[in-house]
Amino acid sequence: MKKVCVKGGGQKPLDMVLGQLALAAGKLKLDRNIHEKLKHPQRTLIVAVPVRMDDGRLEVYTGYRVQHSMERGPCKGGIRFHPQVDLDEITALAMLMTYKCAVVGIPYGGAKGGVVCDPSKMSVYEIERMTRRFASEIAIIIGPDKDIPAPDVNTNPRVMGWIMDTFSMSVGHSVMGVVTGKPLALGGSSGRLEATARGTFYVTERMCAHVGIRLAEATVAIQGFGNVGSHAARIFHEHGATIVAVSDVYGGVHNPGGLDIPRLIEYSQGHGTVRGFSGGKAITNRQLLETRCDILVPAALEGQITEENAPRLKARFVVEAANAPTTPAGDCILKERNILVVPDILANAGGVTVSYFEWVQGLQAYFWTEEEVNERLRRIMTQAFDDVVAVMDTHRVDMRLGAMMLGVGRVAEAAALRGLWP
């Protein structure tokens, strides 16, 4: 297989995505005009988010909503609350969402949003006021036929409920389809909370079958123990895999014989971290990434596997449950070391897939069982993996480029069929 790497240039998320797009466009011999269009987001909204804090002072946060493409349908993408949010990151993630939706074949384009803040230093009332003000500022461009936000880093079903309520109050009736990832009582979908983790598991299961190893005999290390990482640990554990290490922002724990995942989850919920868990040896996030295991699952933030640490990874496979966890330089090193990477736009697409299910259920006011949701998710994730492998085999490329070629090709086809107006 020919190894194609993105070398040189910046390590910023947008540079990375544009580099991946250029590689895919070159291999596809994409029409230059369509390539040029896909390099730019369709719409970018930057808003001030003034919030009255609990002590009476006013804080003004900055919020973003970027809509990359509507070629295949309304936009879709998460909202994150984090101090490192910036426009470059949000734009890159919106672009990745476009191709992610296309890879799994759902009728959306990509969007992303965020507010620059540190929710760990805010009360729940301050977060609610900030959420509602941000929702009111972006209400001009979101809606069930325009752009449907969902949870992301440091947001959750409760935050989605606040956004739904704020939007609904502005139009005078309940609009279930304006966001996904909502609480079940507000029209959420069964299975949505763990959908990203479950989709990651289904793809990993298919990968193991493809390369001829038994998942039940595999060792797994998971970086990040939030919604995605904790659910992934539980699901992998329930299917027989041995979880040898996990970590969160405060630290991690390692046990080569396998961690007691049910007890670890209970400990994490009670202490707010996995650090200090007595069932293993304390490790750092850096040490987790370099843990000896069969499958490494980065499920935290961007840019974790880099040129500096990629030579020391001891995993056989990397399954990207996070968005853009591997830098271009790190990716090149993993290719040179023949470490298979299941890329983010395939591996973590379970979340947006079940968000699509929730949107459909809300529009129809007809809801499915969790078993139905999970079975439909399995079929879509399995088919997407097989479609990516078919592109890999046809064009002799690695899995990341194969997934990008599949996604870009589908978006480009839609763009060509729609044409340019006016």
Residue 229 contacts residue 299 (beta carbons within 8 Å): yes
Active-site residue, from 27, 76, 100, 112: 112
Residue 150 contacts residue 179 (beta carbons within 8 Å): yes
Q: Provide the 10 A C-beta neighbour count for residue 262.
A: 12
Helix (H) or strand (E) holding 75: strand 75-82
As given in the structure block, the two tokens for residue 262 are 């049910």
- In angstroms, the CA 166 to CA 174 distance is 10
Nearest to 356 by CA among 104, 171, 157: 104
Nearest to 101 by CA among 139, 141, 70: 70
Cross-sheet strand order for the sheet of 109-116:
43-52, 58-67, 109-116, 75-82, 147-151
Instruction: From residue 338, give the alpha-carbon distance in Å to each of 310, 328, 332, 392.
Output: 12, 15, 10, 15
Cross-sheet strand order for the sheet of 251-254:
281-283, 251-254, 242-248, 219-223, 293-298, 315-319, 340-342
| Residue bearing tokens 């971290």 | 273
Q: What angle do CA 118, 122, 126 make, to 5 degrees?
A: 120
112 included as an active-site residue = yes
Helices (H), 275-366: 285-289, 328-336, 344-347, 350-364
- In angstroms, the CA 349 to CA 354 distance is 9
- In angstroms, the CA 73 to CA 107 distance is 5
- In angstroms, the CA 313 to CA 334 distance is 8
- In angstroms, the CA 155 to CA 163 distance is 11
| Residue bearing tokens 């069932």 | 279
As given in the structure block, the two tokens for residue 322 are 């996070």
Q: Just list the catalytic residues.
A: 112
